Amino acid sequence: MYSATEDKWHPFPATLDTGTLDNWICESSLATLALGERIQTSEAIFIDFGGKTVKSTEMVEIPWCAAQGNRKLRTSKFRIANKCAPFDVVLGSHLLLNEEGILKFDKTVWVLAKKNATEEEKEYMKREREKAVEESKRLAQRKVNQTSNTASGQRSVGQAPGRK
């Protein structure tokens, strides 16, 4: 992010969050930028995932660009969060989904629709399921045997003499 006051770029980790509409910047990160004018807005109150309240009554316009990839210079509005916010910068869905070049959506389908299994595949899955059930039964029986052996005073393999 760019500080015109200092004529200097400051790197901040940005969280991409399509679950929030607006962009946000933490008060302490904003102080680092030494920006002047803030824009008064109506109070916005949000709840974060930790259940904490995040309030904002001000916004600021900040020039910024990504550190890697598309280095296009952008100027965006950011709501100002209190100093204790658990982030430096959050880029919200209005920006992420509407500004070209931030998120690239590949039209290739990566998650495919489920196909019906062939008879051969069904048989294979049935055999594997049966093997898993048998293995589970063997392990459960082994645990029962170990418990009953220990309870009857028999030592387990590797147990020191004189101990039960």
Looking at the fold, whether 81 and 134 belong to one and the same domain comes out as no
More confident residue, 33 or 90: 90
In a domain, residue 159? The reply is no
Residue 49, domain extent:
2-111
128, 155, 157, 164 from 140: Cα distances, Å: 18, 19, 18, 22
In a domain, residue 71? The reply is yes
Cβ atoms of 58 and 82 within 8 Å: the answer is: no
More confident residue, 93 or 70: 93
Looking at the fold, whether 68 and 103 belong to one and the same domain comes out as yes
Number of domains in the chain: 2
Mean pLDDT of 74-96: 85
Q: What is the pTM of this model?
A: 0.56
Looking at the fold, whether 106 and 142 belong to one and the same domain comes out as no
- In whole angstroms, give the CA distance from residue 24 to residue 27: 10
Per-residue pLDDT, 34: 78
Beta strand residue intervals within 48-119, DSSP E: 53-64, 74-81, 89-92
Looking at the fold, whether 93 and 128 belong to one and the same domain comes out as no
Average pLDDT, the chain: 78
In a domain, residue 6? The reply is yes
Residue 164 confidence (pLDDT) above 80 = no
Per-residue pLDDT, 15: 86
H runs (alpha helix) in the chain: 27-33, 93-98, 119-151
118-151 residue pLDDT tens = 899 889 989 998 998 898 888 888 878 877 776 6
Per-residue pLDDT, 157: 46
